[in-house]
Amino acid sequence: MAIANVTIVGLGLIGSSIARAVGERLPLVTVTGHDASADVREQARALGLCDRIADDAADAVAAADLVILAVPVGRMADAARVMAPGLKADAIISDVGSSKAGVADALAKALPDHIVIPAHPVAGTENSGPAAGFATLFEGRWCIVTPGADASADAVATLGGFWEALGAKVETMDPVHHDMVLAVTSHLPHLIAYTIVGTASELEEVTESEVIKYSAGGFRDFTRIAASDPVMWRDVFLANKDAVLATLQRFNEDLTVLQQAIRRGDADKLEDWFTRTRAIRRSIIAEGQDDAAPDFGRKH
């Protein structure tokens, strides 16, 4: 199935990056954009993000072969319901939400007569809004597609081909498994960063100006993640509650192991653990999922 018209609903970091990437890599595809916020629609027009920005959601999707919902996870069902009257019967509806099982359920209920194939491009930054996006965001990154059991192979292949055209590598996964994997690789790290940065700012013995002044000791790397969009992340934790709580339980147990090792002066335990984690960092670099430059390539 060929895609001639794509509509992106939600023109923040991810939606605007898709629009830019389609503009650069699929110049024959017409892109229509819509956002619930009039201010965001104005910014998108000023940035020239899409061929057309529609004020009305149903109008935005009227010609679409593929619709991508790029709104916070908790807003997916609303966004789907509002656009539903405008959808073509054979349009493929997908999304980019960071959790998948709940979104898949919500979209299936909101659009019972349409082809829904959820997906998650595992790519992002701590910034949000239409100005924050960029065309190369998905290059070399994974896009996980989580089709339901009844999804047509043709439609899944069409969606996968779209993401590959934007430079992503595509993998298909069960939505519940996706949520468990992402709880470990993304959601728990964000929770830990939000915790550390919050804790540091409330310590009585260390002043806030000292925390900022000496942040190069490790703290500042957590602050990048802890600066991520509050609404998006509120919704991710609410939507992926079970997997996050299960992973957090394991994390707490492992933290206790390290706590005991420090208290007991167990040097071997600490060194073994840190040697294993360093190997994981090296594997990520070897896979091309991060840069090998020291200190994340910061200029000194």
Residue 70 lies near ligand NAP (rule: CB under 6 A):
yes
- Closest to ligand NAP by CB, 108 or 211: 108
Taking CB under 6 A as the criterion, the residue among 12, 147, 160, 167 binding ligand NAP is 12
Please choose, out of 4-12, 107-115, 267-275, 283-291, the segment that lies near ligand NAP by the rule CB under 6 A: 4-12
End-to-end CA separation in angstroms for the chain: 50
Residue 71 lies near ligand NAP (rule: CB under 6 A):
yes
- Closest to ligand NAP by CB, 17 or 158: 17
Alpha-carbon distance of 189 to 183, in angstroms, equals: 8
* Residues 78-117 within binding reach of ligand NAP (CB under 6 A): 78-79, 96-98
Residue 67 lies near ligand NAP (rule: CB under 6 A):
no
Count of residues in contact with ligand NAP, rule CB under 6 A? 30
DSSP assignment of 59-90:
HHTTT-SEEEE-S-GGGHHHHHHHHGGG--TT
Least distance to ligand NAP, CB of residue 95, Å = 7
Alpha-carbon distance of 227 to 60, in angstroms, equals: 32
Residue 73 lies near ligand NAP (rule: CB under 6 A):
yes
Strand order in the sheet with 115-116: 52-53, 30-34, 5-9, 66-69, 92-95, 115-116
Residue 75 lies near ligand NAP (rule: CB under 6 A):
yes
**Residue 160 burial (CB count, 10 A):** 20
Taking CB under 6 A as the criterion, the residue among 5, 7, 8, 10 binding ligand NAP is 10
Alpha-carbon distance of 219 to 166, in angstroms, equals: 34
Least distance to ligand NAP, CB of residue 120, Å = 6
Displacement of CA 224 from its chain's centroid (Å): 15
Alpha-carbon distance of 55 to 276, in angstroms, equals: 52
Q: Which residue has the tokens 């998006």?
A: 232
- Closest to ligand NAP by CB, 11 or 107: 11
The site string for ligand NAP over 203-242 (x = CB under 6 A, - otherwise) reads --------------------------x--x---x------
Residue 183 DSSP label: I
* Residues 139-158 within binding reach of ligand NAP (CB under 6 A): none
79 burial (CB, 10 Å; 0-12 / 13-18 / 19+) is buried
Taking CB under 6 A as the criterion, the residue among 23, 25, 26, 36 binding ligand NAP is 36
The site string for ligand NAP over 112-131 (x = CB under 6 A, - otherwise) reads --------xx--xx--xx--
Displacement of CA 200 from its chain's centroid (Å): 26
Residues forming contacts to ligand NAP in the complex (CB under 6 A) are: 9-15, 35-37, 40, 70-73, 75, 78-79, 96-98, 120-121, 124-125, 128-129, 229, 232, 236
